Structure 1
């Protein structure tokens, strides 16, 4: 059975980012309009700059050209995940402790499927958020396996 493009790209790009002491955050392979995009998101503890993105792009592009796994034209983009970085695994949740996050669940919890607040704890099975509802705060416990999507959330204090 043929591997999905994202898995193949992960195998190709992982040694490149490790060699540069960077972290692979996510890979997307999507069609937008009539164009296909292969997006690779990288980061580090100090962030990434355009030069590092360019170096990863160039090295990955060479590897993709060698094995030519994608039969049609596509755009390769390598970038930082930005301020609203996705939380994809348990390590990401641990790193996001005490930060503001947005979470969508597969099914309602207390009648809601979308939550935003401070990630106050993660024990591997449950995520605890402190959410603000009007003038009061409330703890919401979300089972980890019920999380469909999660990301850091940008907050603005005026």
Structure 2
């Protein structure tokens, strides 16, 4: 099973079970570093703490062992997505409408002198799923997701 298939299968399996406990599965990563690592990023209203991560790690581990979805040996990590969380899903973009985000593009933004990374105000999603953004100067733009490498919540000290 390819790593993307593993990520999708794990998310599909765990999402309804954890949502019943008020826990949102924010993202799943299955990556090979030194060994295979399955990372599950979770969140809940008010944020997650170390105890939440431990409880969910035990619960997810038991479910994953029972279902035996992953043929390789792997390490399971359960974590908070952090203050500068990556936004990927429609529900993320809807939830964080009105917030500042850091945007990275695959290619420079047209008409902006080679700019591939910038901070903007997230104005939500268009009907086709493109991101609506307001740049620092007040210019509104719409970007298709195929142009976007990554979107993170902006975090400043």
Distance 1:126 1:69, change over 3 A: closer
- Contact 1:84/1:151 (<8 A) preserved: yes
In structure 1, the partner of 2:14 is 13
In structure 1, the partner of 2:124 is 122
Aligned residues: 149
Unaligned runs of 5+ in 2: none
Unaligned runs of 5+ in 1: 132-136
Let me know the Cα RMSD of the aligned residues: 2.1
SS in 1 for 2:107: strand
In structure 2, the partner of 1:134 is none
- Post-superposition offset of 1:107: 2.7
- Post-superposition offset of 1:85: 0.9
In structure 2, the partner of 1:88 is 88
- Post-superposition offset of 1:10: 1.0
If the length of structure 2 is used for normalisation, what is the TM-score?
Answer: 0.83
If the length of structure 1 is used for normalisation, what is the TM-score?
Answer: 0.82
In structure 2, the partner of 1:139 is 139
Deviations 1:47-88 (A, max 9, x none): 112222112111111111113232332110111100011111
